[in-house]
Every structure is written in structure tokens, then in C-alpha cells.
Structure 1
Amino acid sequence: MPHRIPRPTRRDVALAAALAGVLLPPTAVMMLLPLSSPAGPVIVALASAAHVALCWRSTRPGVVLPVVLACLAGAAAMSGLAVLVPSALLLLVALQAAAAQGDRRLALVVAVLAPCGAALLYGRDPMIARSAFGPSAWMLALLLLALCSAAVAMGLQRRAELRSARLTAEALGLERRGRQLRIEQAEAAERARIARDLHDVLAHALTVVVAQARVARFAAARPEAETALDRVEETARDALRDLRGTLRTLRSAEDARIPPPGLAEVDDLLGRMRGLGLVVDRHVQGAPRALGTATELAVHRVLQEALTNALRHGGGVLLWTEVWGEDQLVIRLSNDIPASAGSTAGTGAGLPGMRERLAAIGGALSIDADDGFTLHLRVPAPVRERSVR
């Protein structure tokens, strides 16, 4: 596939046209009037080609500089007087563009060699030598070297500005991507939290419903059946209320009017589980106190999951030891669930969620299923004045 020449920009075309309108007419006058040989029209043609090449100053600066240099060198080779024509200033524009957006090394080499070569051709031109026209060769070399050096310096400064702007744009892009990534991570964490809440609510409610439906089925028309069905209805209603409250947080945080459960609701939870037939022997040491909304919600959900598992597996008497220390709360739940049942409960979907909840608030959870089933829960509990019970 042939390489396509990039289209020049409007800005470069406008600049090339402006320079051609200013520099090319006096160049033509200088080359066509004094010279009667064919060199005059050829030099004007080469200067015109250099002006046209300048249209790609920004898109192909590494090509424009050699083309402009070749055109001006060819003109100077035909007549040393061509070094002084106004169109020779195009070399400075090409040098600046190459140093800014092209090959810096090429621009530096041309900035040193071009003035020396132009001064040499100028000094050896017979017409200039006979007429004693213009400055001496060495003065012209110094002047051209100064001009070329200034053009390269301006190009290098522009190059630094462009690089700084590019780095700033990249930094802003990275910042935007990082901000978007943090937003996505926060949304993912919120979805995971809501999923854990839904799991805890539905697992607890469905366990109660299944247990009470089993009781109702065996009780048939006895009074126990009506009691079991009442508990099914109550549990389903509570689960529906919790589910609605959780779903509100998905739609809008302002719609979430139901406060999350905490330690103050643990007694109600324990009462419901005892009413479902779970035997719990609870011992509390130390003074209970407020732990903060996030910590209390995590503890409540973990206890709800643990009691639900104990009810599901029918583990006899559940021993509950609750120790309030100076800086932490430790809860130990143990019963005589067989090792197989305890292992099943410990590897269920609820255990990773419980550990994640406690880890998020600086707590820890451990399971011991070697002899029965024991759950150790530990959370930070700094001393506060307000009591929760």
C-alpha cells in the first residue's frame, strides 16, 4: 500500500502563502533583473518550491527541512547572490519547525553547516568578487550562524512547551481514569455490601420459614400448626421490610428511611430464635456500649447468620459467651453440632461474607469445627459513655 502524503494544515498553508507573498516577489526581482543567464528563472523556481514545501511545516518537519535546504543550496550553487535573497529566510522557519517537532539532531547539524556552506559559495562567486557587493564571507557566516542558532533555540523551546502540554494532558487523563476506577470500585463494593445484606436477610427468613413449615406439616390440625404459621407470616413480613429497605439504598440514599439493625436489636433477634426452638445459654461479661453504626450492623449480621446456621442444623444447646473488654468485644458461640454439619455450615456462602464484614471494620472471625462447632467473633470496642441497653 503506497504511503499517503499527509494533508497540510490550514495554519501552515496560510503561513506559507503569507511568506510567499512577502518574500517571493523581491526574490524574483533580485534574481531576474541583474542576471541575464538562465540561472535567474531556475533560482526563482527553486525558491518557489521551497515556499510550497513549507505547507507541510508541522505535519512533516523532518522532510521539509531537507527539501528547503536542497532548494536553497541549489540556488546558491548557481549564484552566490542567492544567499542574500529574502526567500533564504525560509531556512530559519524550517529549522525552527524541525527542532520543535522533528529531528533535533538534523536541525543542529544544518544550523552549523548551512551558514558555513552559504558563506563559502557567497565568497567564491565571481560576480560578487568583482562588484565588491555585500558583506565579507566571514561576517556573513557569523550572521547566518547566529540566525540559525536563534531559530533552533526557539524550536527547542517550543518542543519543551509541547512536551509539557502533552505530559499535562496525559496526567489529567490518568487522573480521570483513576477517578473513574475509584468510582467503579466504590460501586462494586456497594453492590457487594447490598448482596451480603440480601443474603443475610433472605437466608435467615427462609430458614425460619422452612423450619416452621416443617413444624406446621407435622402438627397438622393441632394448635402448634397455627403458632408455626403465625411465625412464618411474621418472619416473611420482617424479611420483606428488610428487603425493601435494602432495595431503597439501591435507588437513592435519601429514600433509605429504615435505620440498619444494630446491637439494640440483638435481644429481639435472640428472642425470635428462641421462639423457633433454638436453645441459647447467654452470658455477658463487662458493660455493653455503642460501637458505631457500621460495627453494630456487621456484628448483628454475623450473629444472625450464626444463629440461623445453628437453627438449620439443630445443634442442641448454643452456648453464647459475650465479653466486653476495654478495647474490644469478643463473642464465642459454640454447640454440639456434629463435625460434618459444622463443616458444611462453615464452608457455606455466608462464612466469606461474615469474614468480609468483620475485616472491613477491623474485626476478625474464626471457626473451630474439630469438636462440635465454635465461632469466635472479635471487633474493636472503644469505651464510650452511651450504653446500648
Structure 2
Amino acid sequence: MHEQTSLRWPRYRDLALAAGLAFACLLGGFQPSGHITLDVVLLLCAFAAPFTRGRWPLLTVATITAALAVCAFRPTLPTGSVALAPFAAYVARRHLPSPHRDLITAALFVGDIVALTLISPTLTALTLAERAPYIAWSVTLLTAASLFGELRRRAEETAEKELQARLERQREEFERASEEQRAHLAREIHDIVTHSLTVIVAQADGALYAGAPDNAARTETKDEALRTIAKVGRDSLKQMRGVVGLLRGAEQRPVTPLVENLDIDQLVATSRAGGLDVDCTTHGQPPAGLAPATTLAVQRIIQESLTNALKHGTGTAQLTVDWNEDNVIVRTTNPIPPRGTLPSPGTGLQGMQERASLIDGFVTAAPTETNTWVTEATIPLRRTDAPREVAQ
């Protein structure tokens, strides 16, 4: 309803303005025989001008100017010219581009003064002192109409510039949000795929090179490896479906986080099944109502730390989780070969650092002098989602 009213308002306004200009042309009545045609033309120009000014402003101003120029030679000056001349000046200042509006405005002022001073038979019969009030009044009307049109045009230009600036800011915010979302998806896919494939590869290698002395034991080892691979694959597929859900439309996007509950025991069990001997120690308990972003960050950091220990370590790792009043400290320690390849500061470590920084935490990862790799993350505890949270 509001939109329909806003669309009708310009039409009603133009109709009222057309009626006012036409009424001004009729105030003096039609002139004697021989000038009725000019009166009709002037009346039609006055009525049509409000409807054509927006679409054809130059044609509108040119038509009004031509009609006024012809009327200037009439024995009596028509009353409609008093209204049409300022209206033409208003249209020129508001709707015409530069330099057309400046040239036409100057032409209107010069033509008005020349017509009233030298051409119009009605005023040329008067003395200069008697003509001065008419000229001053006409110039004042033209000036007021020109200023009004100029102010309206500048206001519209300012509003348009502000709109363009807002649209540009929204575009930049959208691009920034898209970059953050892509980075979030990249971290999720990396954490899920890397951890799962590491376990699967370790299990496959273990089954392939199992040194069981009899066929029954060898078969049992391979069956256990296949069961672990199947379980890890199903869990990874479930998490990947959650990541893919982020790419769907808003009406299809899941409202639950990718990780609903923090399950450290399951992470440790999966890593052990992959061949990593994990010694897990937990101090304290996670608080109730832990924010989804915090839950997801702790889950992924533990997962990535154990994955790195399995890939680059010697097969053992020590995981310590300390739940404090204000934060949780996750520390993973694993031996590395004396001349082995250290974990490179690639997407895994970078992903942990980025994930922690999103909720005002931090991660450190470095080797020690005793050939031990230590990864430590400090995550603030939040019971409600923070404004910076992007994990869903």
C-alpha cells in the first residue's frame, strides 16, 4: 500500500501543477480575434509541461521558451507567461545537465529582460521608471525558481552519491564476509579430510604390512582395519555434509553447528585406531552451555594436533586438556625423529591459529631441544556466541 501511494504521489503532484499553470493562463481570459491560437498553444504548453519535464526536459524548456518568445510580440502580455517563465527556469536548473542548464538559464534571463524592455508592446509604451518594477518582479521570480530547481537537483545528487556510497560499502562488506566464509570452509574441509585420510592411510598400511604368523590373526587384523576405516569414513561424511550445508541457500542451511558436543574421548579413540598411542589427561570439566564456536575450536584444534602427531611423530603423543574458570588450555606433546621432517607452518597450523583468533584465543607450536613437538592452544570460555563468531 505504501509503495502504491509513493508511486501515485508524483502523478497527483504533476496533475495539480498542470492545473495551476493552466489556470494562470486563463486568468486574463482569451485575447481578441487573431490571437486565440496563441492562447490555446500557451494553454497546452502550460498543461503538458509538468508531465514532460522529467522525461524530455530540454524539449519542455525549448517549447515553453518558443511560446513565450512569440507571445512577447503580442499587443498585450498574457498572464500565463508570468508562471511559465519561472517554471522553465526551474526545469532547466533541476533536470538539465551541465552546461545546457547554464546556457538556457542565461538565455531565459536575457530574453526576459529584452522582451520586457524592448519588445513587448504592453511595456514599451511605458517609461523606463514605470517598466522597472515589472522587470524587477520578473527577474525575482526567475531567480527564485532557478535557485529552487538548483537546490532540488543538488539534494538529489547528494542523495544519489550517498546511496552509491552505501551500496559500495555493502558490496565491500559482502566480499569480506564471502572471504571469511571461504576461509572457514577451507579450514573445515582441511581438518576433516586431513584427519580422516591420515587415519585411513595408517590403517590401510597397518593391514597391508601386518606380520601375523597365521592367516586367522592376519584376517582379524585386516578386518579391524577395515572397520576403523569404515567408521572414520562415515564420521567424515557426516561432517562433510555439514560443511556442504553451508553452501546451500539460506532456507536450506542447517541451524545447528557442525560439532554439537565436544567429544574428546572419541577423538582420542579415532587417533588410537589410526595407530597413534595417545595418553590423554583432562583436568576439570567443560562448563555447561559452552558456545558452539568454542566447542568447534577445541574439537578441531585437538583433532589437528593429533593428526600432526600421527603424521610427523614417532607414534606416541601426550594430550592434556585443562579446563579453567576463564579458559581451556589444550597441550599436545609428541616426540619427533631426530632428523625427521618438522611439521611445516602450512594450512594445518595456520588453520588452528586462525580458528583460535576468531574467538580471541591463540595457538603456539614449536619443537623443543629434546626432539619434542609441542602444540598449545589457549581458548577463552564463552557460554554465548560472540559477535565475531563465524562457525556454524
Same-fold status (TM-score > 0.5): yes
Identity %: 28
- Cα 1:70–1:375 shift into 2, 3 Å: same
Residue 362 of structure 2 is aligned to residue 364 of structure 1: yes
Aligned partner of 1:380 in structure 2 is 380
1:347 to 336, 345, 350: 345
Whether the aligned pair in 1 keeps the contact of 2:319 and 2:331 (CA below 8 Å) is: yes
Which runs of structure 2 are paired with 1:220-369 in the superposition (5 Å)? Answer: 221=215, 222=218, 223-251=220-248, 260-263=259-262, 265-285=263-283, 288-290=286-288, 291-338=290-337, 341=340, 343=342, 345-369=343-367
Q: Distance between the aligned counterparts of 2:124 and 2:184, measured in 1?
A: 89
Aligned residues: 348
Query: Residue 188 of structure 1: CA displacement?
Result: 4.9
Aligned AA (1:84):
L
Residues 82 and 381 of structure 1, relative CA distance in 2, 3 Å threshold: same
Superposition deviation, residue 217 in structure 1: 0.8
Q: Deviations over 1:323-367 (max 9, x none)?
A: 344422222222221477553x33333222222211111111222
1:335 is paired with a residue whose SS is strand
Q: Does structure 1 conserve the Cα–Cα contact (< 8 Å) formed by 2:189 and 2:243? A: yes
Q: Is the 8 A contact 1:99 1:155 kept in 2?
A: yes
SS of 1:362's partner is: coil
- TM normalised by structure 1 equals 0.68
Q: CA deviation at 1:288?
A: 4.1
Instruction: Tell me the residue number matched to 2:7.
Output: none
In the alignment, the residues of structure 2 paired with residue 299 and residue 334 of structure 1 have an alpha-carbon distance, to the nearest angstrom, of 16
Aligned-pair CA distance for 1:214: 0.7
Alpha-carbon shift at residue 225 of structure 1 (Å): 3.0
5+ residue gaps in structure 1?
Answer: 1-10, 33-43, 130-134, 385-389
Question: Does the C-alpha gap of structure 1 residues 236 and 304 become closer, same or farther in structure 2, counting only changes over 3 Å?
Answer: same
Q: Would the aligned equivalents of 2:327 and 2:380 in 1 still touch at CA under 8 Å?
A: yes
Assess, with a 3 A threshold, how the Cα gap between structure 1 residues 68 and 238 changes in structure 2: closer, same or farther: closer
Q: What's the CA shift string for 1:99-151, capped at 9, x where partnerless?
A: 3345676677667655654454369x89965xxxxx54323221232133123
Q: Distance in 1 between matches of 2:276 and 2:256?
A: 32
Q: Which residue of 2 aligns with 1:84?
A: 77
Q: Which structure has the larger Rg over C-alpha atoms?
A: 1
Residues 48-67 of structure 1 aligned to structure 2 (within 5 Å): 59=56, 61=58
Of residues 156, 159, 174, the one that matches 1:165 is 156
1:375 partner SS? strand
- Residue 121 (str. 1) matches residue 118 (str. 2): yes
Name the amino acid aligned to 2:77.
L
Deviation string 1:240-286 (CA, Å, 9 cap, x unpaired) is 233334334544656567861543x0122113323433233344455
Give distance in 1, aligned partners of 2:331 and 2:178: 34
TM-score, structure 2 length as denominator? Answer: 0.67
Give 1 or 2: higher helix fraction: 1
Specify the code of the residue in structure 2 equivalent to 1:95: A
Measure, in 2, the Cα distance between the counterparts of 1:235 and 1:126: 101
2:228 corresponds to 1:200: no
Counterparts of 2:244 and 2:275 in 1: how far apart (Å)? 31
Q: Secondary structure at the match of 2:209?
A: helix
Structure 2 unaligned regions, length at least 5: 1-13, 385-392
Q: Which residue of 1 aligns with 2:142?
A: 151
Residues 18-29 of structure 1 aligned to structure 2 (within 5 Å): none
- Aligned partner of 1:140 in structure 2 is 131
Provide the aligned C-alpha RMSD in A: 4.8
Q: Match for 1:361: what amino acid?
A: I
Q: Aligned pair 1:98/2:92, yes or no?
A: yes
Aligned-residue offset at 1:375: 1.3
Kept after mapping to 2: 8 A contact 1:96/1:155: yes
The AA in structure 2 aligned to 1:98 is: A
